[in-house]
Structure 1
């Protein structure tokens, strides 16, 4: 009898591919889930070394966090400080120096019955997981040495301690990644929505408008030039609407369209364009440990981390140069960059420079955490460089984290 008759019949194709697709989707989420868990484990170890209870909302509330919580609870307010505090300088007080994107999200989350403090932590951690998930998609959602090491660097990214804090850093960074994903997918609406949220969370997020305006040059390539320019302009306009929405909320509460600009100028001496290299010097030499030093015997990690912001600046400069050099080498060798690489390059450089032009000598390190989007290009760095960068970031993450948990950082 012929072999063809004795052979088992060929298996029928899967009549329903949906289960297979669901399994693939679940497996695709494993690396982001693992990265999020590792990021929390590392941060818990840093908190333990700083003698702080990580699994409490109090450990994640430092300085400006109270302003974000006050906006979530009661909205904006602005008043002369002397009206409430007799011995205070006659400057402007209130919470209009902080943008509403994150606190309004916290307010929405509190509708579930959680306290505002718990809601703030949940929003931050959910945003961090979203960051890893979108980054993983931008990396191709395929586990290799390059993508695995890139995710590992993301778990200890410079300034990333603020991804776990009651601050808008994780939410704003997620929005920048969504903006980048929108450009890659060719969706101006998604890109603009990411830009809107980024700009509504923090002024640094407005750099998305710069990237989106320039996207007419490197994105939307299937369209004609008029359509490319229109998509770039529309997505950038949506980003600007994030700033306008923030201004409108402040005006509704205070009756002033210039509330943000006023408190920045009168109370914080900001609002003008600074010389960036001078501001870098001020940021490097700012005496955090003299300005505020915890009382009593300090844990070893805290005691050896009170000037960690100086190493942080060097590491951030190194990161920007590495991302820029990687893009330049790839552009020279292949004469082109993928859309997401262009977007990540522009955003990374802009996020790095903006705080120094604005004079944020006491907050640049948390603003720079939004350079996380530059990890899209780090996957193209040689493996040995990734390993070195991972080691440097791990050591610095522990030191800057100790400064944060000790309450030294603003």
Structure 2
């Protein structure tokens, strides 16, 4: 006769083993990124030290760090820089979720820069763990290859950088978990964190609003609409929190809109296909190329944003086609699959609707949530996708470490 403790033992060991695949994916992602950094050269001609926080720091990182250190500010640029164009300067174009996390962690004694990297890496590990749970936490060819693709996901170098991309993606995955488990509170919390981190988090608001049609199936229709509406409204409060903090610092409720229109010519909806063309043609190579002799990887990566766009288009088409095939064969999608499909499509479109011609490639990294559906793709498609993602990851990461990307 087997005792209760003996029967529970294997279960506990299995749960411990369940943590190994996401941990391995996180370690492999760091190893690959380190190797790419070692084969790259910084914009000043120096070698890249991947383990230094400075190597993870780019243009927008300065704004996130400044919010963490001193809060929000907005001013006319010429008030401090007489030779600067007469536009609005400040940091009110960036959301507070990630900087507030940096501020909180820095209270432990870590520098702001180190805290920023720790949060990004912890979020990436969390992403792999939550994705693994959504995949069923069982190692098969399909789930193993899906995790491998996640380790070299297009634009994934920004998961390691001083940006809120990993934190926002983790929040989106938590939102999907909430919908799958029928917990509108967890879904709302994930949505709030996603919108507080980045404008792309607005995709969670839309998904939760539509969730009445594919989630909460144990409830009556009025209850389903109530849960969808409440979770969506609470998720949108992440944006209200951001705007409240900006108002507290600047006295303007529309501070975000002012700086976007003045300094970045953004505001209102754009024609997405025209924006895709502008993003594809953006002259990164001419604007930010490092001087002097360049390593082979850097030299061939200076226009990698173009192949990145092609790969992102292929990925979104693959996710949509997979969902369509599953609907045709099985007559339904699982709750988490509907959520991932809606989020992936919205994340792909949002940067082009907003006109983010210089940042779409990092925003698109949050399409990581679409891997929930890639699990169902044939191995004959997953393996070529993994190879393509690996090559593109090396190119775009080299472009990042060379200082070409912003």
With normalisation by structure 2, the TM-score equals: 0.97
Q: Which residue of 1 aligns with 2:86?
A: 90
Q: Which residue of 2 aligns with 1:263?
A: 259
Q: Kindly report which structure 2 residues correspond to 1:27-66, keeping only aligned pairs within 5 A, or say none.
A: 27-51=17-41, 52-66=48-62
Q: Say whether 1:354 aligns with 2:344.
A: no
Q: Which of residues 374, 377, 389 in structure 2 aligns to 1:393?
A: 389
Q: Say whether 1:407 aligns with 2:403.
A: yes
Q: Distance in 1 between matches of 2:238 and 2:138?
A: 33
Q: Give the CA deviation at 1:14.
A: 2.8
Q: Say whether 1:277 aligns with 2:273.
A: yes
**SS in structure 1 opposite 2:31?**
helix
Q: Distance in 2 between matches of 1:15 and 1:111?
A: 42
Q: Which residue of 2 aligns with 1:164?
A: 160
**Which string of whole-angstrom CA distances, capped at 9 and with x for unpartnered residues, describes residues 263-316 of structure 1?**
000111001210000000000000001111112211111011000000000000
Q: Which residue of 2 aligns with 1:4?
A: none
Q: Give the CA deviation at 1:317.
A: 0.2
Q: Distance in 2 between matches of 1:15 and 1:409?
A: 55
Q: Distance in 2 between matches of 1:89 and 1:55?
A: 37
Q: Distance in 1 between matches of 2:96 and 2:64?
A: 8
Q: Distance in 2 between matches of 1:35 and 1:268?
A: 37
Q: Which of residues 189, 192, 203 in structure 1 aligns to 2:188?
A: 192
For structure 2, the residue ranges without an aligned partner over 5 or more in a row are 42-47
Q: Which residue of 2 aligns with 1:339?
A: 335
**Greater C-alpha Rg:** 1
Q: Per the alignment, do residues 235 and 17 of structure 1 end up closer, same or farther by CA in structure 2, a change over 3 Å counting?
A: farther
Q: Give the CA deviation at 1:398.
A: 0.2
**Which string of whole-angstrom CA distances, capped at 9 and with x for unpartnered residues, describes residues 92-127 of structure 1?**
000000000001001111111100000000000000
**Which string of whole-angstrom CA distances, capped at 9 and with x for unpartnered residues, describes residues 161-205 of structure 1?**
000000000000000000001000000000000000000000011
Q: Which residue of 1 aligns with 2:297?
A: 301
Q: Which residue of 2 aligns with 1:181?
A: 177
For structure 1, the residue ranges without an aligned partner over 5 or more in a row are 1-10
Q: Say whether 1:380 aligns with 2:370.
A: no
Q: Give the CA deviation at 1:353.
A: 0.3
Q: Which of residues 138, 146, 155 in structure 2 aligns to 1:150?
A: 146
**SS in structure 2 opposite 1:113?**
coil
Q: Say whether 1:368 aligns with 2:401.
A: no
Q: Distance in 1 between matches of 2:162 and 2:11?
A: 36
Q: Distance in 1 between matches of 2:119 and 2:358?
A: 24
Q: Distance in 2 between matches of 1:267 and 1:294?
A: 25
Q: Give the CA deviation at 1:25.
A: 2.1
Q: Distance in 2 between matches of 1:111 and 1:25?
A: 33
RMSD between superposed Cα atoms in Å: 0.9
**SS in structure 1 opposite 2:270?**
coil
**SS in structure 1 opposite 2:19?**
helix
Q: Distance in 2 between matches of 1:318 and 1:15?
A: 50
Q: Per the alignment, do residues 236 and 296 of structure 1 end up closer, same or farther by CA in structure 2, a change over 3 Å counting?
A: same
Q: Say whether 1:216 aligns with 2:206.
A: no
> How many correspondences in the alignment?
400
Q: Which residue of 2 aligns with 1:290?
A: 286
**Which string of whole-angstrom CA distances, capped at 9 and with x for unpartnered residues, describes residues 5-35 of structure 1?**
xxxxxx3333465544432221110101000
Q: Say whether 1:245 aligns with 2:238.
A: no
**Which string of whole-angstrom CA distances, capped at 9 and with x for unpartnered residues, describes residues 218-248 of structure 1?**
0000000000001001110111100000000
Q: Which residue of 2 aligns with 1:310?
A: 306
**Which string of whole-angstrom CA distances, capped at 9 and with x for unpartnered residues, describes residues 53-112 of structure 1?**
101001000111111111111110100001000100110000000000001001111111
Q: Distance in 2 between matches of 1:339 and 1:168?
A: 26
Q: Which residue of 1 aligns with 2:2?
A: 12
Q: Which residue of 1 aligns with 2:44?
A: none
**SS in structure 2 opposite 1:64?**
helix
